[in-house]
Amino acid sequence: MAVGQEARAEGAAGREVSSGASAAPPGAVEPPVRGVLATLAHDRWVHVMLGLLVLLAAGSYVLPLVADLDYARQSSAVLQGPSASHWFGTDEFGRDNAVRVLVGARSSLQVAFGAALFAMVAGVVIGLVAGYFRGPADAVAMRVLDVLLALPEVVLALVIIAVLGNSGLNLVIAIGVAFVPVFARVTRAGVLALREQDFVVASRAMGARSPDTMARTVLPNVLGPIVVQFVITAAVAVVVSAALGFLGLGPEPPTPSWGAMMQTAKSYLYQNPWYGVAPGIALIVTVLCLDRLGARVRIALGVEHSGAGRGGRR
């Protein structure tokens, strides 16, 4: 009985960081990275989802080069249905939809992960500073984030693109800014739970500068929710990127994107329904893989709750 109680106590101590009651030594990271990686390495669903994403990403870059597939090559086979030579049929210019869907994954994944990375870096910095120092910096940062949260992601991205112009980089920035408040709030919540813990106070008492304490002691202990939020934000960013592409923003023609393909396909639904179904299926599979991958990472890290979308709402 004593052994079982001790094991349960150790398990509870390993989850104290996410619940805001940590007894870890200075600079400790919970849960251990090796344990998390081992858990994910033995998860079959993680293998499946990562495999699909890797195949999609690698195929969008490698397959068109190896197989000499040109997404802009036109032919007389206009709006044809699926066949052995054109798996997803052809578009209004006779271009192969399967190749265009595959190449469209390139821009979708680039924008999604680029925007998630931008939002994570900016949001973590804001959340660290606001949560650690509190006071006026915290109040100003939270009010600015409240203003950003009041606007839907697509609307905010449209405003930013209208100011900066339509380009791949500006699209990443526009979508990334929309998700900065999520990372800032997740980081700030973790910092507020840790800033008065013994190991953080000890770090300050030993003469460590505030940037060192934040980067080496506080940040490693709040990385779990941040990593989970990164994966989930990438999934939502794929949808936002497709929505903006549907509105005519994104790569310039003839470079394909899933949103632009679905926007054009709505005019040819009766001639070739697969024109719009194919990029829709690719979008659904990608989002589901990223969302479920985020859920498995959350379980492995022992994070109790992690919101999807903005404001921490799932």
Contacts of 119 (CB under 8 A, 6+ apart): 175, 176, 177, 178, 179, 180, 182, 183, 233
Q: How do residues 93-122 score in pLDDT, each as one tens digit? A: 888 888 888 888 888 889 999 999 999 999
**More confident site: 205 or 117:** 117
pLDDT of residue 34: 64
Percentage of the chain modeled with pLDDT above 90: 22
* Residue 96, beta-bridge partner list: 90
pLDDT of residue 14: 40
Amino acid at 165: G
**107 touches 193 (CB < 8 A):** no
Which residue has 């940590």 as its token pair? Answer: 22
In this structure, which long-range contacts are made by residues 265-271, counting pairs with CB atoms below 8 Å and at least 24 apart in sequence? Answer: 265/91, 268/79, 268/91, 268/92, 271/79
Predicted model pTM = 0.80
Q: How do residues 225-248 score in pLDDT, each as one tens digit? A: 899 999 999 999 999 999 999 988
pLDDT of residue 311: 45
Amino acid at 54: V
Q: Please report which confidence band the pLDDT of residue 40 belongs to, taking 50, 70 and 90 as the band edges.
A: confident
pLDDT of residue 305: 56
Most confident of the following: 33-47, 52-66, 180-194? 180-194
Q: How far apart are CA 188 and CA 178, in angstroms?
A: 17
3-state helix, strand, coil in the chain (%, to 5): 70, 0, 30
What six digits make up the tokens of 138? 């915290």
Q: Is the pLDDT of residue 91 over 80?
A: yes
Q: Please report which confidence band the pLDDT of residue 66 belongs to, taking 50, 70 and 90 as the band edges.
A: low
**More confident site: 76 or 115:** 115
Mean pLDDT computed over 216-224: 86
Mean pLDDT computed over 139-148: 89
Q: How do residues 295-311 score in pLDDT, each as one tens digit? A: 888 888 877 654 545 54
pLDDT of residue 180: 94
* Residue 90, beta-bridge partner list: 96
pLDDT of residue 123: 95
Q: Please report which confidence band the pLDDT of residue 32 belongs to, taking 50, 70 and 90 as the band edges.
A: low
| Arithmetic mean of pLDDT over the chain | 80
Q: Please report which confidence band the pLDDT of residue 288 belongs to, taking 50, 70 and 90 as the band edges.
A: very high
pLDDT of residue 178: 92
Q: How far apart are CA 203 and CA 223, in angstroms?
A: 19
Most confident of the following: 2-11, 190-199, 200-209, 276-285? 276-285
Mean pLDDT computed over 169-196: 91
Q: Is the pLDDT of residue 29 over 60?
A: no
- Compute the Cα dihedral for 115, 228, 222, 193 and give only its sign: positive
Q: How do residues 167-180 score in pLDDT, each as one tens digit? A: 888 999 999 999 99
Across 265-300, b (16+ Cβ under 10 Å) vs e yields beebeeebebbbbbbbebbeebbebbbbbbbbbbeb
Rounded to 10°, the helix 274-301/258-265 angle is 150
Q: Please report which confidence band the pLDDT of residue 215 belongs to, taking 50, 70 and 90 as the band edges.
A: confident
Q: Is the pLDDT of residue 314 over 80?
A: no
Radius of gyration of the chain (CA): 23
96 phi and psi angles, rounded to 5 deg: -70, 120
- Compute the Cα dihedral for 131, 25, 117, 233 and give only its sign: negative
